Amino acid sequence: MSNTRKVVVIGAGVSGLTSALYLLKSKKSYEVTIVAQHIPGDIDIEYTSIFAGANWGSFADDHEIFLQDLDKPGYHYFMDLARTEPGAGVHIVPKQRYNRQSEMGKDGKPHDPWFIREKFVEGVRTLRKDELPESVGEDAKDPFVAGYEYQTITISTNIYLHYLLQQIFALGGVLKRKTIKHIDEAYNLHQSGERADLIVNCSGLLASKLGGVQDPEVHPIRGQILWARNSASKQISLKIPGFKDESVYIFPRKEGGCIIGGTFMPNNWSDVVDPGLAKRMIERAKKYLPELVDPNYEGNSTEIDVYRYNVGLRPGRTSGPKIEREGDIIHNYGIAGAGYQASIGLAEYVCQFAEEFYQQKSRGGNKL
């Protein structure tokens, strides 16, 4: 029997890979085996991480301090990565959010999110009126009256997931493509051939189905997104009146091209692309970010050039993400639409819980 800390991580999405990497980077003799049904490179409705935008833009409300704290370390981490690691597939872009009249508070002012008010993020500024989209046609009914900008990142998910994986391999981590039916199977899948001491469960949406977990709170939040070849200089987001589940967000990627969203449909498992919605998304992209179809900008096509129509299912959880230790299992799943931005905050918890587990184990604690 070796004296290493034998850990099996279930899942190779952003939650599992970041957890595995942070354990390995802690230099505390962890031997980490990742066991996953889907791995970087796969495109599958049950593998959410590939479909993310992905940007940093905390959804946490003013009172959701725990969620704010989960998101905070990710901002600094990804901004640093964009500046120092060209191979990570992360770049810095300005994000503009446009507010409509109906979003104004009783005082006539917009209710900006915590990270804008506190100037937690870089480059916060109020948009001038001439920087807002024109409020013509349908938009005249609920015109754009305010907006802000800040500096954020877009993560090219496929490149970033591979970047995480390469670092894991370099630190001795092992990846096994395997589907398990019950969480207990994971104990016998460690690379050493010995029983794992600790399991880190990062099974995402499938935590609703995995035997021994089957969390009834976990549910999909469906998002339809388009991958397009058109490039842009900034991210934008805005609401669409009359469409409860639809909004516009566009994130340009570092290698060119962009992701166009999107929808937010809780409890909808459908993997079928809605062509009517796709058409609306394309029209909105052209209208609210005209440089996408301006040949003078990066030689863009004059039409939105979609190379893949996608549906992704965010791993929602009714009472929020499950990040806790139950004996020799650490759970890290259910992070909904914030899996990248919160990945660092969550991985820090995983390391803390793992350390606590091994401390107790070394003291001979039988109530781990």
Ligand X SMILES: Cc1cc2nc3c(=O)[nH]c(=O)nc-3n(C[C@H](O)[C@H](O)[C@H](O)COP(=O)(O)OP(=O)(O)OC[C@H]3O[C@@H](n4cnc5c(N)ncnc54)[C@H](O)[C@@H]3O)c2cc1C
What are the start-end ranges of the H helices in 206-338?
275-288
| Token representation of residue 65 | 């301090």
| Token representation of residue 43 | 């495109």
Q: Name which of 16 and 89 has its Cβ closer to ligand X.
A: 16
Tell me how far apart the alpha carbons of residues 310 and 259 are, in angstroms, rounded to a whole number.
10
Contact call for residue 22 and ligand X (CB under 6 A): no
Q: Name which of 225 and 293 has its Cβ closer to ligand X.
A: 225
Does residue 48 have a known ligand-binding role? yes
Q: Name which of 52 and 132 has its Cβ closer to ligand X.
A: 52
Question: Among residue numbers 99 through 128, which ones bind ligand X (CB under 6 A)?
Answer: none
> Judged by CB under 6 A, how many residues of this single chain contact ligand X?
42
Applying CB under 6 A, among 55, 68, 237, 300 the residue interacting with ligand X is: 55
Q: How far is CA 209 from CA 14, 322, 338, 362, in A?
A: 19, 15, 21, 33
What are the start-end ranges of the H helices in the chain?
14-25, 65-84, 114-117, 157-170, 275-288, 343-362
Contact call for residue 40 and ligand X (CB under 6 A): no
Stretch that binds ligand X, among 14-22, 92-100, 140-148, 350-358 (CB under 6 A): 14-22
Q: How far is the CB of 192 from ligand X (least distance, A)?
A: 19
Stretch that binds ligand X, among 13-21, 85-93, 288-296, 301-309 (CB under 6 A): 13-21
Contact call for residue 14 and ligand X (CB under 6 A): yes
CA within 13 Å, CB half, 166: 9
The mark string for 225-254 relative to ligand X (x by CB under 6 A, - otherwise) is: x-----------------------------
* H helix count then E strand count, the chain: 6, 15
Cα-based torsion angle of the residue sequence 24, 30, 33, 36 in order, rounded to the nearest 10 degrees: -60
- Residue identified by tokens 């994130």 is 251
The candidate with the shortest Cα–Cα distance to 259, out of 314, 302, 308, 316, is 308
Amino acid letter, residue 95: K
Q: How far is the CB of 40 from ligand X (least distance, A)?
A: 9
Q: How far is the CB of 313 from ligand X (least distance, A)?
A: 6
The mark string for 176-215 relative to ligand X (x by CB under 6 A, - otherwise) is: ---xx---------------------xxxxx---x-----
Answer for the pair 255, 156: CB distance below 8 angstroms, yes or no.
yes
Contact call for residue 53 and ligand X (CB under 6 A): yes
Q: Tell me the three state secondary structure of residue 276.
A: helix
What are the start-end ranges of the H helices in 143-260?
157-170
Q: How far is the CB of 114 from ligand X (least distance, A)?
A: 16
Q: How far is the CB of 167 from ligand X (least distance, A)?
A: 16
- Residue identified by tokens 């809780």 is 266
The mark string for 295-334 relative to ligand X (x by CB under 6 A, - otherwise) is: -----------------x-xx-----------------x-
Cβ density class 287-315: b for 16+ within 10 Å, e for less: bbbeebbbeeebebeeebebeeebbbbbb
Q: How far is the CB of 20 from ligand X (least distance, A)?
A: 11
Q: Name which of 143 and 257 has its Cβ closer to ligand X.
A: 257
Amino acid letter, residue 177: R
Q: How far is the CB of 316 from ligand X (least distance, A)?
A: 9
Q: How far is the CB of 216 from ligand X (least distance, A)?
A: 16
Applying CB under 6 A, among 16, 110, 113, 316 the residue interacting with ligand X is: 16
Please state the residue numbers annotated as binding site for FAD.
Answer: 48-49
Contact set with ligand X (CB under 6 A): 10-16, 35-38, 47-49, 51-55, 179-180, 202-206, 210, 223, 225, 261-262, 312, 314-315, 333, 335-341
